[in-house]
Structure 1
Amino acid sequence: MVLRRLSVLAGALITALVLTAPAALAHTTLQSSDPAEGAALSAAPQQVSLKFGGAFTLPAEPIRITGPDGAQWTVGAATVTDRTVTAPVQPSGPAGAYVLTWSIVAADGDPITGRINFSLTTPASTPSPSTAPSSAAPAPPTTQALQAAESSGGGFPVWAWVVIAVVVVAGTVAVIVRGRRSSS
């Protein structure tokens, strides 16, 4: 009887833990981008932005843009503000399909990459030197990304879920063992 109750209690605790854990264990995901996936732009953007749902850091060269015939855009230093990565770009290349490739490092250390496909309906023109985006940033991107991750309240940390799970399992085992000893 006691063992049955403990089993039900352990099952309920594990179920509660599993149901509340997915948000904490899920990786950071891309929530929105500018340009958006599948967008057909009549003019090339002067900057790109990517908004993510969780804490992250930036690796070196987190954004690349390639187009028809291997055309490469010059991407300036990326900055992070409130989980949004923004980078100035110098577009160049013909009208056609382009791919923005991004990469970040999730708070748990796993690298995450993705692609955004968009197109230009007119050729990209290179801006004059006076309007070209600056490649200088106030601080290295990794430092800014770490600050954003620390100040953004990245949710309940994964290590805390692990500690809770260990405590629940250890407590359940202790109660079962104690129940068996008292019934003997």
Structure 2
Amino acid sequence: MRGLRLLRASAALLGCLGVLLLSGGTPAYAHTALNTATPAPGSKVGTGTSVVELTFARLRPGTTPKVGIVGPDGTEVSVGRPVVADASVTCAAVGPLPAGVITLTYTITAADGDTQTNAFQFEAADDAKAVSAPAACKGLKLTAPVVDTGDTIMGLGRTTALAVLAAAAAVVVGGSVMAVRRKRGPRPAVTGEEATW
């Protein structure tokens, strides 16, 4: 009988934990989701596509999503400053898309204040039709993307490469200082009598 009571108690405990886990996941639905996008995830568009549009649910008022695009070889595609057309539609002008699989990354602030970063991919091809500016983006004053002048270092954009190089230099200098200190060893303590000589 005692074994049966322990089994029932364990089953009840598992049931309660299951209910808590299921109810604990509910707030995640309050986070902002991507409703639609142009170009759409998995779609094929022409390399002449010059505007991207992202429609979200429940953006935090007064915030503007950040949009980044990376080409198939890992180089950044220039993106103009995003503009929020209404409470949920974000539009941005983009530089020429290279042919291949493109990764679009966006960072948003949800209505509950949480910051989320997600990405999706689409394909750009020379023989595909360029997507025209979506209706929600027409008439908006979109900032033109800064055209990359080929000013790259190690295949990265100049700003990114300089940040990486600065971090690497800091690590090298810090490591060198630590190595010199270890090599010298601890300094001998100076007593009061020795200090008077």
TM-score relative to the length of structure 1 = 0.50
Letter in 2 for 1:88: A
**Match of 1:105?**
109
* Paired residues of 2:47 and 2:96 also in contact (CA < 8 A): no
**Is 2:38 aligned against 1:29?**
no
For 1:64, the aligned partner's letter is G
**In structure 2, how many angstroms separate the alpha carbons of the residues matched to 1:25 and 1:117?**
23
The Cα of 1:27 is off from its aligned counterpart by 0.8
- The CA distance in 1 between the partners of 2:45 and 2:97, in whole Å, is 14
Percent of counterpart pairs with the same letter?
36
1:96 aligns with 2:96: no
2:67 maps to 1:58? no
CA offsets, 1:122-158, max 9 Å, x none? 29xxxxxxxxx6349xxxxxxxxxxxxxxxxxxxxxx
Structure 1's 25 and 101: CA in aligned 2 closer, same or farther, altered over 3 A? Answer: closer
The alpha-carbon deviation at position 68 of structure 1 amounts to 1.7
Residue deviations 1:4-38 (CA, integer Å, cap 9, x gap): xxxxxxxxxxxxxxx9xx58961111100000000
Deviating beyond 3 angstroms after TM superposition, the runs of 4 or more aligned structure 1 residues are 22-25, 133-136
Conserved in 2, the CA contact under 8 Å of 1:35 and 1:118?
Answer: yes
Q: 2:143 aligns with which of 118, 128, 134?
A: 134
Q: Distance in 1 between matches of 2:97 and 2:46?
A: 14
Equivalent-residue separation in structure 1 for 2:94 and 2:82 (angstroms):
10
Change in Cα spacing, 1:119 to 1:50, as seen in structure 2 (3 Å) is: same
Give the paired residue count.
108
Larger Rg: 2
Is 1:45 aligned to residue 84 of structure 2? no
Pick one of 41, 60, 68 that aligns with 2:72: 68
Q: Does 1:78 align with 2:82?
A: yes
Higher relative contact order (CA 8 A, sep 6+): 1
Q: Taking structure 1 as reference, are residues 92 and 71 closer, same or farther at Cα in structure 2, changes over 3 Å only?
A: farther
> Deviation digits for residues 70-89 of structure 1, max 9, x if unmatched?
23211001110221010011
Distance 1:41 1:51, change over 3 A: same
Give the 3-state SS of the residue equivalent to 2:113 in structure 1. coil
Query: Following the alignment from structure 1 to structure 2, what is the Cα–Cα distance between the partners of residues 58 and 86?
Result: 10
Q: Residue 92 of structure 1: CA displacement?
A: 4.2
> 2: CA distance between counterparts of 1:107 and 1:23?
12
Q: Is the 8 A contact 1:72 1:92 kept in 2?
A: no
One-letter amino acid of the structure 1 residue matched with residue 112 of structure 2: D
Amino acid at match of 1:134: T
Other-structure match for 1:87: 92
Distance 1:47 1:111 in 2: 24
| 3-state secondary structure, aligned to 2:73 | helix
| Equivalent residue letter for 2:38 | D
Are residues 111 and 45 of structure 1, via their aligned partners in 2, closer, same or farther at CA, if it must alter by over 3 Å?
same
* RMSD of Structure 2 on Structure 1 (CA): 3.1
| Distance (Å, rounded) in 1 between the aligned partners of 2:48 and 2:106 | 18
